[in-house]
């Protein structure tokens, strides 16, 4: 029983943290007609491009992960690790997002990979960016172009333009308020778990 309670406690904490910091960069939007949804998915896949690592949710309920291959008029190829390649119709996809919403260069910066992350995060997102010159910026994304993006650094009044090819690291950066919210959520989870573990643990005295 104790082992079961500890396992449940760990699951509760992990679930709380995940919900608090999970990224919501959803590419495909729902609520429109079938043709509209298909067009949205086609456009989003074109933005991500061949070579992108993506996670898909299919309208039939399935989930897939793999590398985007050739993009066609009606669908695209998806290379799955250990499963080979298959063709996915745009109309089959309910939701698509980049598999990893952060980038760290392993040698020369990959501008296309940086652009995918920046585009997936979206304008308005608070991010941390490090350039080849060693400068680190923290601020909100403003404009996202084909070759560069603009960032409004924290406590600055003027935007900074950065070329994708100059970025060595980029990813979501929590603001002070966001960090406090995460810590508060974790603390609340710990308190709940502690109460859960202590429940019915009072020794029973036999008379």
Q: Residue 19's CB: how many other CB atoms inside 10 A? A: 10
53 and 90 Cβ atoms separated by less than 8 Å: no
Number of H helices, E strands in the chain: 4, 11
pTM above 0.85, yes or no: no
**Closest to 31 in 3D by CA, of 42, 22, 40:** 40
CATH topology of domain 1-23+101-201: SH3 type barrels. (2.30.30)
Same CATH topology for 1-23+101-201 and 26-98: the answer is: yes
pLDDT tens-place string over residues 135-168: 999 999 999 999 999 999 999 999 999 999 999 9
pLDDT tens-place string over residues 50-85: 999 999 999 989 999 999 999 999 999 999 998 899
**Closest to 171 in 3D by CA, of 98, 99, 97, 103:** 103
153 and 169 Cβ atoms separated by less than 8 Å: no
Q: Measuring CA to CA, how many Å separate 51 from each of 57, 72, 173? A: 18, 14, 25
54 and 98 Cβ atoms separated by less than 8 Å: yes
pLDDT tens-place string over residues 24-56: 444 444 445 678 999 999 999 999 999 999 999
Name the residue ranges covered by the structural domains of the chain: 1-23+101-201, 26-98
Percent residues over pLDDT 90 in the chain: 64
Buried b (16+ CB within 10 A) or exposed e, 93-119: bbbbbbebbebeeeeebbeebbbbbbb
The hierarchical CATH code for the domain 26-98 is: 2.30.30.100
Q: How far is CA 55 from the centre of its chain?
A: 10
């Amino acid at each position: 029983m104790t082992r079961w309670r500890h396992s449940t406690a760990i699951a509760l904490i992990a679930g709380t943290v995940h919900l608090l910091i999970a990224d919501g960069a959803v590419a495909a939007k729902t609520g429109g007609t079938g043709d509209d949804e298909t067009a949205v998915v086609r456009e989003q896949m074109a933005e991500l491009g061949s070579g992108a690592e993506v996670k898909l949710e299919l309208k039939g309920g399935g989930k897939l992960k793999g590398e985007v291959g050739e993009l066609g008029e009606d669908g695209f190829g998806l290379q799955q690790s250990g499963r080979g390649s298959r063709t996915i119709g745009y109309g089959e996809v309910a939701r698509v997002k980049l598999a990893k919403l952060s980038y760290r260069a392993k040698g020369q910066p990959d501008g296309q990979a940086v652009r995918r992350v920046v585009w997936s995060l979206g304008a308005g997102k608070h991010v941390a960016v490090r350039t080849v010159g060693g400068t680190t910026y923290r601020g909100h994304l403003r404009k996202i172009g084909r070759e560069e993006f603009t960032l409004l650094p924290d406590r600055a009044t003027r935007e900074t333009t950065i070329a994708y090819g100059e970025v060595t690291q980029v990813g979501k950066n929590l603001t002070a308020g966001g960090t406090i919210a995460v810590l508060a959520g974790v603390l609340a989870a710990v308190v709940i778990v502690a109460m859960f573990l202590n429940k019915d643990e009072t020794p029973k005295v036999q008379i």
